Amino acid sequence: MKTITIFISFVFMLQSVICFAQKTISEGTIIYEISLQSRNKEIKLAEGFAGATSTRYLKGGLSRTDMKTALGTETTIYNSKTGNAAILKEYSGQKLMILLSKENWEEKNKNLEGLVFENSSETKVVGGYNCKKAIAKLKDGSSLSVFYTPDLVAINKEYDRSFLNLPGFPLEYELETAKLFFKYKLSSIDFNTVPALKFEYPQTGYRVMTYEETKKGKVGE
């Protein structure tokens, strides 16, 4: 009986150590540097991504991603509780806001449904965190490889459908398609408070469209 008691105590102690070691991200700002290579030697496209960054803001069930390139800026704001989202595009002086319902969001991310990661034996240290490498195949044939740390986990797993089933937080990842090769590398990570204003939709200055309208090719009208 004493042996069983000691064993149970050891299991609880081990679980406590694991929980202590793993940090849950409920709020924070993560910045990635983006690089792009083209298989078709589309040099101008690759040059447009020189110095490009992707900044992710997390706050509870809210998330925002700002992708800034020399070509312009694209922002995605998503509320995991309602399922609604907005995509803000700023290119060549034009500002467009696309509103998405929960159903629209599901349709837009359909390619990421059932994404399963398989761990490889490769490891590396990224931003001071020990990372494991995992690889997944998308429905369209694209390949997604990621170095993630099991020491961090987002409380809002919906912030990026690409990593919904990843057992940790992505710090470096690569998306490879038939024509393009994107690489995201961690630049900084900050767990300080993110202002709620970051997740509010702009009230003026943008042409507002629905997701259905963009599918009908009305964006340039």
Domain ranges of the chain: 23-215
Domain 23-215 superfamily per CATH:
Lipoprotein localisation LolA/LolB/LppX (2.50.20.10)
CA distance 209 to 205: 13
First to last CA, the chain: 77
Q: Identify the pLDDT of residue 38.
A: 74
pLDDT digits (tens, 9 = 90+) for 29-56: 999 999 988 766 655 666 667 789 999 9
CA distance 197 to 133: 35
Lowest mean pLDDT among 34-48, 61-75, 137-151, 198-212: 34-48
The label of the residue with tokens 């469209």 reads 209
Bridging pattern class, strands 23-25 and 152-154: parallel
Burial of 144 (0-12, 13-18, 19+ CB in 10 A): buried
Q: Identify the pLDDT of residue 5.
A: 47
Lowest mean pLDDT among 30-39, 53-62, 193-202, 210-219: 210-219
pLDDT digits (tens, 9 = 90+) for 110-145: 999 889 999 999 999 999 999 999 999 998 889 999
Q: Identify the pLDDT of residue 156.
A: 94
Evaluate if residue 20 carries a pLDDT over 80. no
